[in-house]
Chains A and B, each alone.
Chain A
Amino acid sequence: MIDEVAARAVGITKTHGRGAGAVTALDRVSVEFARARYTAIMGPSGSGKSTLLHCVAGLDSVDEGAVHLAGVDLTRLGERQLTRLRRDRVGFIFQSFNLLPTMSAVDNIRLPLALAGRRPDRVWIDRLVDAVGLRDRLGHKPAELSGGQQQRVAAARALAGRPAIVFADEPTGNLDSVARGELLGFLRRCVDELGQTIVMVTHDPVAAAYADRALFLADGRIVDTLDGPTAERVLDRMKSLSEVS
């Protein structure tokens, strides 16, 4: 099935806990992430951004609704198949602790391929390494790299297997503005030049401005979308959102 949509959620609901302490993190959310597009997910703390990301990425199950990822209905997949799907079709970048401390940068980049027993595409890996500007750091262990370098290694790792979609949860949360710019610029180029699909959770209007589209979540619902976001417009929306709630 050739699809212009890389991932799609249809009316998904996710409740954490049960009884009196239950929290509805996602409330009948429907959303589509188009191929070769860069989407930012924004919203106040606790609004359900991470939960949405986890559900769409197949890391977490949904209570209601359906999730399609790379043309597959996730709700029908077992644990092994989900793991294989993640390994082969999805890339991840987290805020921190992205890398295995015992492995060198290049080994970390090749890790998903190694897990799959796939032969790495040398040309592609080379191109990624050059794009993140880490050629002279490949043999170093994560502890020997700066925070920004670590995140760039993580980004290269996320893209090493040419995934159908890359999910990033606050990837720039721990970075200064220079490192942030380098990482976001790299992700942007991946979308423009390599046709990658990226979904990124962020609190940062500047980061959101790198995206093609921004979604706004509040109390587990998508309350707004913004195409071609700029930092000022994003900031405006966030202000109005916090006034509403």
Chain B
Amino acid sequence: MLRYTLSSVVAHKGRLLLTAVAIVLGVSLVSGTFVLIDTWRAAADAAAHRHPRGVDVVVGATPDAAPTTDGEPVSIPFRGPVPAALIDRLARVDGVVSATGVVLGRAQVLGRDGHPVAGREPIARTVDPSFAASLRTGRVPAGPAEVVIDPATAATLRIRVGDRIRVVSSGGAPETVTVVGLLYPPEQAGAAFVGVHPSAARDLLPRPDLVSFVEVRAAPGITQRELRDRVAATLDGQYAVSTGADLDAELVRAAEPPPLVARIFLIASLVALFIGTFLIRNTYTIVLASRARELALLRCVGASRGQLRRAVLLEAAIVGAVASLGGLALGVAVGWGVASLLKTGGAVAVDVTGHTPQVLPRTVAVTLAVGILTALVSAWSPVRRATRVHPVAALHGDVFALDRPVGRLRAVLGGLFLFGGTGLVLAGGLADPAVDAMVGAGAALSGLGVLVLGPVLAPPIARLVGAAVRRGRGVAGRLAADNAVRNPRRAAATTLPLVIGLALIGFLTTLAAGSRASTVGGFDQTLRADFRMQAFNRDVAMSPDVPRRLAAVPEVAAVASFQVADAELTTGPGPDGAAGGGSVVDLAGVDPTRLAAVLALPVTDGALADLADGGIALRRGIAAERGATVGSTVRLRTGAGGATQTFAVRAIYDTSDLGGYAVAHLPVFDSLITPAAYERLVGDPAVATVYASVRDGVTPAAARAAIARALADHPTVEITGRDELRRRAAAELDPALRVYYALFGLMILIALFGIINTLALSALERIRELGLLRVLGMQRRQVRAMLRWEAAIVAATGTAVGLALGALLGWAATRAFDLSATEVPVGLLAGSAVAAVVASMLAAGPPARRAAGVDVLHALASE
């Protein structure tokens, strides 16, 4: 029997090839995911080890000296300054060869228009000769008039080594310096980096008694851990001490794929594999039907049913193994493609595409196992049915249908699931507020319903879809419409992958459209200003001179400046807020009369105009959290050991309907007080951000030029127009969406291939029919048209069902996520539907051409 298996693998090359391609596509996303994640890790690793400068121990401030963001501890270099005297202390520790103070700060390269280019986080650092080997090109700065910058900044601003550029550090005046080299940012991948000579450290940190952290090198023979312990012992826990290796590991973790991303990719690839099994099963059913005669003959000459089953399953395993290797190769390409999408989306801090694709033994093993298993599982039931064909029966019949008829139980169950599910989704989504649990359960149930009901539902829908083709396209159209619904199970299995892929796309498009609409809507409703002015370095506020100068610009109609600080808000009885401490809120000082000119805050209680000195306005979420209402009092305290002052709540505003992405780009704060009260409480006149609206009739370009002129003495100030802010807010989701669309696009590709695969095999199966049609005078072009239309009908059926389901679920999700606007992107959905149908017709070209080109007599004579 092994000989039979091998000879039949060779003999049925063509058909097995189609099966193999289905498996290749199915497993390629799985292997692609592994390749992407592994390569991403390797790239992160390489990025962290790009500077093997022999730093053994790093000493910096303790974590509690730095505020934490999102609960993640801040890395040692970013924790804020330590005394410079520490350097000498460390140099005296036994086993230390050298201790070097490093100063970290903010600096930006100015563009040709004299303003910093916004976008990436600006970081500057002292660069000593130990970096010489790490440079991408050039040399390290030899004096204060020389800098190195990161390759990405050099590329965007078209700066080359040797060019003279203007650099501004926070607060300082711009200086003209020479670029002497390119260097990847050492402490944070992806930052906009400026490296300065150690003698220029005071431009970054104007206090000579402080440094950001200290790099320590060990004498030969002393390990990093030993030195770390020795250093730590002399410091009494006053400072944080870490080995160079640990710091590197931290850097790797920061640049690595987040676990959530890895999980999403893996889920997407499993969905693709699931889609793949339908196709593979379909393929096996057709291939085995066409071989039923051969199998029956083997039974006649004495092969047992078990022998046949084992032989065919072994064949499936061989095909699965070979195809997995193909899938592995394709997976490398897929992983690389997704990586480049991530790169253009700016979603990844390291350049994954610049790294050799990583194919680990684990990836090979998993891919092989998945491929073989998929082949076996998909082949299992068709093989069982094919080997059960009665020997004699098989020798007589004309065409075998291995597909079982569709049962009534399936129709009833599927119908219940689908209609119950959509009913739940609708009921949950229409309820106000939306009931998340109902929407979720309904979505799961209707998805299951589509799976179960597919074979029942596909033929009538395809018949409906095919009606137009049947009427308008002559005999070819008519036959296409008939053939599309000839085999319900097959029709369902062929359309299902398309349904799943397009349902995901429909879901995402609708959700994204809702999110975008609510973001843009929230933005438009709220922001009245035309420009935002902000220091490129968010840590350093602007001089109060900035709003004064802006107010003097004739083109500017109104200016509102925001002073911002963190504060602790309490409502408890005692002056120390005994009851469980307070809430940390962002507090803004702003003139309420000017605020109205730049921002329309949705006030739900009280009035902002009442915000006299001593009054406070609160965001509703905070007010609810602290139990504050208009008329009640709250206490504020800023900084450690600052004074506590009492404020009367005068207004409450609600920003929850604006959408998180809009709020992040708007001057929306937790609490507002008047500038006078702010200065009394915080004692700092500096301004964090200024918004200005322009007089009617002034063009944005003219206004921008006037503002830029007025702020010529403040080169650290970024000027951002309303359109740019709006675009950034709306595009917040884009990098993630692009990756999703790419993944789902691949699924659609697999689905389209499935249609073509089935079409090619069906044509092979119906070759006598094609021969007969040709004898009777069907022109080749009519044969081609017939098969193309068949593909189109199948594709249109899957598309219609998938997009409808996806749009419904997407709409329900926008409701469940409480987005303020729901929008079904009809144009986009219709566009993808048309694209899918046209693509399927194009893809049907080669098999249709083959079928049309078949020799008439040969076709008639074939079995």
Other-chain contact of B860, A79, A94, A100 (Cβ < 8 Å): A94
Q: A84–B399 Cα gap in the complex (Å)?
A: 29
Taking a contact as CB atoms under 8 Å apart, the answer to whether A88 and B474 are in contact is no
Taking a contact as CB atoms under 8 Å apart, the answer to whether B857 and A83 are in contact is no
Taking a contact as CB atoms under 8 Å apart, the answer to whether A83 and B778 are in contact is yes
Taking a contact as CB atoms under 8 Å apart, the answer to whether B856 and A59 are in contact is yes
Contact flags A80-119 to B (C-beta < 8 A → 1, else 0)? 1001101110001010011011110000000110111100
Let me know if A203 is at the binding interface, CB within 8 A: no
CB proximity to A under 8 Å, residues B746-781: 768-769, 772-780
Taking a contact as CB atoms under 8 Å apart, the answer to whether B398 and A97 are in contact is yes
Let me know if A54 is at the binding interface, CB within 8 A: yes
Let me know if A60 is at the binding interface, CB within 8 A: yes
Nearest Cβ on chain A to B580's Cβ, whole angstroms: 76
Taking a contact as CB atoms under 8 Å apart, the answer to whether A87 and B486 are in contact is no
Interface residue count on the B side (C-beta < 8 Å): 24
Q: A112–B475 Cα gap in the complex (Å)?
A: 10
Taking a contact as CB atoms under 8 Å apart, the answer to whether B398 and A92 are in contact is no
Residues of A within 8 A of B479 (CB): 100, 102
Q: A111–B773 Cα gap in the complex (Å)?
A: 9
Q: A94–B771 Cα gap in the complex (Å)?
A: 12
Nearest Cβ on chain A to B690's Cβ, whole angstroms: 74
Q: A117–B782 Cα gap in the complex (Å)?
A: 12
Residue of A nearest to B769 (CB): A100
Taking a contact as CB atoms under 8 Å apart, the answer to whether A115 and B475 are in contact is yes
Taking a contact as CB atoms under 8 Å apart, the answer to whether B775 and A92 are in contact is yes
Other-chain contact of A102, B483, B768, B775 (Cβ < 8 Å): B483
Residues of A within 8 A of B777 (CB): 83-84, 86-88, 112, 115-116
Taking a contact as CB atoms under 8 Å apart, the answer to whether A86 and B775 are in contact is yes
Residues of A within 8 A of B778 (CB): 83, 87, 115
Let me know if B605 is at the binding interface, CB within 8 A: no
Other-chain contact of A79, B398, B769, B776, B780 (Cβ < 8 Å): B780
Residues of B within 8 A of A84 (CB): 777, 779
Nearest Cβ on chain A to B770's Cβ, whole angstroms: 10
Taking a contact as CB atoms under 8 Å apart, the answer to whether A59 and B857 are in contact is yes
Other-chain contact of A86, B474, B475, B769, B776 (Cβ < 8 Å): B776
A100-B479, A102-B483 in contact; A60/B779 too (CB < 8 A)? Answer: no
Residues of B within 8 A of A114 (CB): 474-475, 478
Let me know if B482 is at the binding interface, CB within 8 A: yes
Q: A86–B43 Cα gap in the complex (Å)?
A: 67
Residues of B within 8 A of A103 (CB): 482
Taking a contact as CB atoms under 8 Å apart, the answer to whether A115 and B769 are in contact is no
Q: A92–B776 Cα gap in the complex (Å)?
A: 7
Residue of B nearest to A158 (CB): B776
Residue of A nearest to B856 (CB): A59
Residues of A within 8 A of B780 (CB): 79-80, 83
Q: A97–B483 Cα gap in the complex (Å)?
A: 17
Q: A84–B772 Cα gap in the complex (Å)?
A: 14
Residues of B within 8 A of A102 (CB): 479, 482-483, 486
Residues of A within 8 A of B857 (CB): 54, 59-60
Residue of B nearest to A92 (CB): B775
Residue of A nearest to B476 (CB): A115
Taking a contact as CB atoms under 8 Å apart, the answer to whether A117 and B779 are in contact is no
Contact flags A140-165 to B (C-beta < 8 A → 1, else 0)? 00000000000000000100000000
Residues of B within 8 A of A79 (CB): 780
Q: A54–B856 Cα gap in the complex (Å)?
A: 10
Q: A18–B348 Cα gap in the complex (Å)?
A: 64
Q: A98–B768 Cα gap in the complex (Å)?
A: 9
Nearest Cβ on chain B to A219's Cβ, whole angstroms: 21
Q: A116–B769 Cα gap in the complex (Å)?
A: 18
Residue of A nearest to B486 (CB): A102
Residues of A within 8 A of B478 (CB): 114
Q: A115–B857 Cα gap in the complex (Å)?
A: 19
Looking at A98, A114, A157, which has the most chain B CB atoms within 10 Å of its CB? A114
Other-chain contact of A87, B399, B776, B856 (Cβ < 8 Å): B776
Taking a contact as CB atoms under 8 Å apart, the answer to whether A112 and B398 are in contact is no
Q: A92–B772 Cα gap in the complex (Å)?
A: 10
Looking at B398, B486, B769, B772, which has the most chain A CB atoms within 10 Å of its CB? B772
Taking a contact as CB atoms under 8 Å apart, the answer to whether A100 and B772 are in contact is yes
Q: A114–B474 Cα gap in the complex (Å)?
A: 7
Q: A86–B773 Cα gap in the complex (Å)?
A: 11
Q: A84–B781 Cα gap in the complex (Å)?
A: 12
Taking a contact as CB atoms under 8 Å apart, the answer to whether A115 and B776 are in contact is yes
Residues of B within 8 A of A60 (CB): 857
Residues of A within 8 A of B772 (CB): 94, 97-98, 100
Q: A116–B476 Cα gap in the complex (Å)?
A: 11
Nearest Cβ on chain A to B558's Cβ, whole angstroms: 73
Residue of A nearest to B482 (CB): A102
Taking a contact as CB atoms under 8 Å apart, the answer to whether A83 and B768 are in contact is no
Residues of A within 8 A of B776 (CB): 86-87, 92, 111-112, 115, 157
Taking a contact as CB atoms under 8 Å apart, the answer to whether A80 and B773 are in contact is no
Residues of A within 8 A of B483 (CB): 102
Q: A115–B772 Cα gap in the complex (Å)?
A: 12
Contact flags B454-483 to A (C-beta < 8 A → 1, else 0)? 000000000000000000001100110011
Residue of A nearest to B781 (CB): A80
Nearest Cβ on chain A to B777's Cβ, whole angstroms: 2
Q: A80–B781 Cα gap in the complex (Å)?
A: 9
Q: A238–B531 Cα gap in the complex (Å)?
A: 104
Q: A57–B856 Cα gap in the complex (Å)?
A: 12
Taking a contact as CB atoms under 8 Å apart, the answer to whether A80 and B779 are in contact is yes
Q: A122–B479 Cα gap in the complex (Å)?
A: 22
Residues of B within 8 A of A59 (CB): 775, 856-857
Taking a contact as CB atoms under 8 Å apart, the answer to whether A97 and B775 are in contact is no
Q: A114–B776 Cα gap in the complex (Å)?
A: 11
Q: A190–B775 Cα gap in the complex (Å)?
A: 22
Residues of A within 8 A of B860 (CB): 94, 97
Q: A116–B779 Cα gap in the complex (Å)?
A: 9
Taking a contact as CB atoms under 8 Å apart, the answer to whether A83 and B475 are in contact is no
Looking at A80, A98, A100, which has the most chain B CB atoms within 10 Å of its CB? A100
Q: A111–B475 Cα gap in the complex (Å)?
A: 8
Q: A37–B613 Cα gap in the complex (Å)?
A: 117
Residues of A within 8 A of B775 (CB): 59, 86, 92
Taking a contact as CB atoms under 8 Å apart, the answer to whether A83 and B482 are in contact is no
Taking a contact as CB atoms under 8 Å apart, the answer to whether A100 and B773 are in contact is yes
Q: A114–B782 Cα gap in the complex (Å)?
A: 12
Nearest Cβ on chain A to B207's Cβ, whole angstroms: 88
Residues of B within 8 A of A117 (CB): 474
Residues of A within 8 A of B486 (CB): 102
Looking at B483, B774, B777, which has the most chain A CB atoms within 10 Å of its CB? B777
Contact flags B279-300 to A (C-beta < 8 A → 1, else 0)? 0000000000000000000000
Nearest Cβ on chain A to B11's Cβ, whole angstroms: 21
CB proximity to A under 8 Å, residues B212-262: none
Taking a contact as CB atoms under 8 Å apart, the answer to whether A115 and B398 are in contact is no
Residues of A within 8 A of B773 (CB): 100, 115
Residues of A within 8 A of B779 (CB): 80, 83-84
Residue of A nearest to B474 (CB): A117
Residue of B nearest to A169 (CB): B860
Taking a contact as CB atoms under 8 Å apart, the answer to whether B782 and A115 are in contact is yes
Q: A84–B777 Cα gap in the complex (Å)?
A: 6
CB proximity to A under 8 Å, residues B769-802: 769, 772-780, 782
CB proximity to A under 8 Å, residues B102-148: none
Across chains A and B, which 8 residue pairs bring their CB atoms closest together, nearest first? A87-B777, A102-B482, A114-B475, A86-B777, A112-B776, A115-B777, A115-B778, A83-B779
What are 23 A-B residue pairs whose CB atoms fall within 8 Å in the complex? A54-B857, A59-B857, A80-B780, A83-B777, A83-B778, A83-B780, A84-B777, A87-B777, A92-B775, A94-B860, A97-B398, A97-B860, A100-B769, A100-B773, A101-B399, A102-B483, A103-B482, A111-B475, A111-B776, A115-B773, A115-B776, A115-B782, A157-B776
9 more CB-based (< 8 A) A-B contacts, given A59-B856, A83-B780: A80-B779, A88-B777, A98-B772, A100-B769, A111-B475, A111-B776, A114-B474, A114-B475, A157-B776
By a beta-carbon cutoff of 8 Å, the part of chain A in contact with chain B is: 54, 59-60, 79-80, 83-84, 86-88, 92, 94, 97-98, 100-103, 111-112, 114-117, 157
